[in-house]
Amino acid sequence: MAFSGSRLVASAAAKLLGQSRQGFKALTGVSRSLLTFSAAEGHSLRSACFSRSFTRSMWVLCSKRPDTDLLNGGVVKLTDVNKTCSCCGLHTQGDKELANFLSKEIESEKDNLQEAPKLKDFEISTKGAEVTLTRNFDGEIVTIDFNVNLSVDDESMDEESEQPQMVSRPRFTVELKKSGGSSLSLNCSFTGDEGTTGGEEEVDVFQIDEVTLHEGEGEWQESSYIAGADNMDGTLYDLLMTTLEERGVDNDFAAKLVTLSTSHEHRQYIKFLEDLKSFVSK
C-alpha cells in the first residue's frame, strides 16, 4: 500500500507541477526524489540536445571558413568582393594596375610594329624565338638559324626619333650541306660597324667566329673539332667570307637579317605582353 500510495501521489504531483510550488514542498520524500530525478533527466536531455544542435550549427559554419573560430570568440571573415570576379579568382590591386598597364603597352607596341622584310631566295620559318632561313644553291642546302632571345640593344637616337631604337642583332649559324650529307657550319656575329668607312673600302658588318666540319649525316658532337677564327690564317678567313658571299650571305643580306630579327623579336615581345596580361587576369 505504501508503494501504491507513492505512485498515486507522484502522478497527482506531476499534474500540479508548474501551477503551485507549494504542492511540490508537500510531497513525500519518496515522491520528491522521483520528481527530482525525472526533472533532472529532462533538463539534462534538453540541454544535451540544444548543445549538440548548437555545436553542429557552429561546426558547419566554421567548416566553410577554415580561418574562423566562432567557438573561441573569433570573428567571421568575409571575402572582399572587390577582389573577386566571375572566375572566382583573387585579384589584388597590383594585379589590376598591371593588367591596365599591359593593355596600354600592348597597343603602343603594336602601333610601332614594323613589317618583316622579304629575303630573296630564302624561305622563312619560325618557332617561338627561333628563326630558320633555307635556300638551295646548286644542289647545296644553305640553312641559317638564329634566336632572338637577348639579342636586342639600344641604338643611339637619330634626328627623327625621340627615343633610342631597339635593334636585334643575334648571333647566327650558316650551315652548308652537301648532297652526300657532309656539312660545314660557320657561327657568325655582328660587328656593330655600319658597313662603310670614310673611303671606298667596305667593312664587313658581320664576322665568322667559329667553323666546324661535319662528316656524314651525324649531328654536331662534343668530340667535333671547332676552329676559332681568331687563330685562323687571314687568307683562309677571307676565302670563307667569300664562300658565304657567293651564297647570298653578304653585308646586304646581314642588314636585312637585322631588320627581320628586330621585327620578329618585337612580335615575340608583344606576344609575351599578351600572355602576361592573360596570366594576371586569370
Which structural domain, as residue segments, surrounds residue 24? 2-68
Sign of CA dihedral 156, 158, 162, 168: negative
The label of the residue with cell 643611339 reads 156
Residue 191 banded pLDDT, cuts 50, 70, 90: very high
Residue 243 is predicted with a pLDDT of 98
Residue 9 is predicted with a pLDDT of 43
Residue 2 has pLDDT above 70, yes or no: no
CA distance 236 to 240: 6
**187 with 274, same domain?**
yes
What is the b/e burial string over 98-135, where b = at least 16 CB atoms within 10 angstroms of the residue's CB? bbeebeeebeeeeeeeeebeebeebeeeeeebebebeb
Domain endpoint, select from 68, 89, 115: 68
147 vs 281: which has the higher pLDDT = 147
**63 with 200, same domain?**
no
What CATH number should be reported for the domain holding residue 259?
3.10.280.10
| CA neighbor of 8 nearest in space, from 27, 21, 25, 22 | 27
Identify the weakest region by mean pLDDT among 59-63, 204-208, 228-232, 253-257.
Answer: 59-63
Sign of CA dihedral 23, 25, 29, 34: positive
- What percentage of residues in the chain have a pLDDT greater than 90? 50
Residue 87 banded pLDDT, cuts 50, 70, 90: low
Contact at 8 Å (CB) between 165 and 191? Answer: no
The label of the residue with cell 677571307 reads 238
**60 with 133, same domain?**
no
CA distance 115 to 128: 17
Residue 20 banded pLDDT, cuts 50, 70, 90: very low
Residue 65 is predicted with a pLDDT of 45
**61 with 110, same domain?**
no
Q: Would residue 80 count as lying in a domain?
A: no
Name the amino acid, one letter, at 129: A
Count of beta carbons in the 10 Å neighbourhood of residue 261: 23
Average pLDDT over residues 141-164: 80
Count of beta carbons in the 10 Å neighbourhood of residue 160: 6
CA distance 56 to 62: 10
191 vs 216: which has the higher pLDDT = 191
Q: Would residue 148 count as lying in a domain?
A: yes
83 vs 126: which has the higher pLDDT = 126
Residue 97 is predicted with a pLDDT of 94
Q: Would residue 89 count as lying in a domain?
A: no
Residue 215 is predicted with a pLDDT of 82
Residue 55 is predicted with a pLDDT of 36
Residue 25 banded pLDDT, cuts 50, 70, 90: very low
Q: Would residue 44 count as lying in a domain?
A: yes
Kindly give, in sequence order, each residue whose CB lies less than 8 Å from that of residue 47, ignoring residues fewer than 6 positions away.
none
Residue 235 is predicted with a pLDDT of 98
The number of folded domains in the chain is 2
Q: Would residue 77 count as lying in a domain?
A: no
**119 with 29, same domain?**
no
pLDDT digits 0-9 by tens, 212-249: 998 876 666 778 899 999 999 999 999 999 999 999 99
Contact at 8 Å (CB) between 177 and 159? Answer: no
Domain endpoint, select from 13, 43, 68: 68
The label of the residue with cell 594596375 reads 97
Q: Would residue 91 count as lying in a domain?
A: no
Strand 166-168 with 206-214, pairing:
unpaired
Residue 50 is predicted with a pLDDT of 40
